[in-house]
Structure 1
């Protein structure tokens, strides 16, 4: 696995639609095929973080260490070109998400969890301009993994209303009454 972590690459923890079996994983598959990403393994956050769904069942990791649960996801080694592609998908320049540091531990069937090495990587968190509000809107209740159950009802970007920005959709969601 260490061979997959080259000097110019970043470790990126994915926890939602970029994971295997979910709608945006096609990007990861393309990046792997193009040599811009390598799957390193299933992992979980070392610290607890809130993981919630926002509008259209889009998953959001909230940058509130200590709240929520340890989050299950996947760890990738990603080239600078691959990170740029992920930043575009995640709307980093548009204020949708922000890529920030995170500590994760690979899950291994051979070692106990406490003995597994900790890796310093990055993850896409809900932007700080709305992250805490999203956590509160969800009743300060999240989940430890974005699974098929949480993804039920997910709406792909192309199928969402086009006359309104995603940030506006998030704000409407936050201001609505929780279900």
Structure 2
């Protein structure tokens, strides 16, 4: 039966930003969408961090422009697990469970943000959400006036986490820092190629 609730469900989207990429790709077929020139803050906690296998995407310029800005920790707790056949770090969208997650803050342009959406299979596997991050270290040598921590030392950042996971993942160890090359005794990531 058709209801107002189901009609609104078609119009109202969940609080993530990846659904827009489907609209943007349609626009590109009919002509290049104008770039907003806006830079976006992104918090990464897994294979995109320094020293990890996919970090080069964040800084080499081949997928868009990205710049390291500092280190941070999520203000909310989340379960960070390593799962799947490739030992991928998954941040489960279950706030208040697990640990505050350590990671890095980057300033990225729209092109790199679009690549990250594709790389993270957003919105089908991961969803891009805005979260508050406590800034632990801030590299502001090239700081733009509109990109700086708030007075309380926090910053709103995009973060990729998932609401889709296997039930038994909740029984896996929860980590606060992803680094399979360190002394965390974490399963080794199996590299996959970006599309």
Please confirm whether the aligned pair reaches a TM-score higher than 0.5, indicating the same fold.
Answer: yes
Spell out the pairing of 1:67-78 with structure 2 (5 A cutoff): 67-78=97-108
Query: Structure 1 residues 40, 150: closer, same or farther in 2, change over 3 A?
Result: farther
After superposition, the CA RMSD in angstroms is 2.4
Whether the 8 Å CA contact 1:48–1:65 is kept in 2: the answer is yes
Q: Which has the larger radius of gyration?
A: 2
Partner of 1:144 in structure 2?
176
Match of residue 105, structure 1, among 109, 124, 134: 134
Q: CA-to-partner distance for each residue in 1:73-114, whole Å, 9 max, x for gaps?
A: 000111111101111111115x121111111011139xxxxx
Counting matched residue pairs gives 142
Structure 1 unaligned residues grouped into runs of 5+:
1-6, 110-114, 159-179
Length-normalised TM-score, structure 2: 0.65
Query: Structure 1 residues 90, 35: closer, same or farther in 2, change over 3 A?
Result: closer
Structure 2 unaligned residues grouped into runs of 5+:
1-36, 139-150
Q: CA-to-partner distance for each residue in 1:15-58, whole Å, 9 max, x for gaps?
A: 00000001110101213x88711111011101111111111210
Length-normalised TM-score, structure 1: 0.71
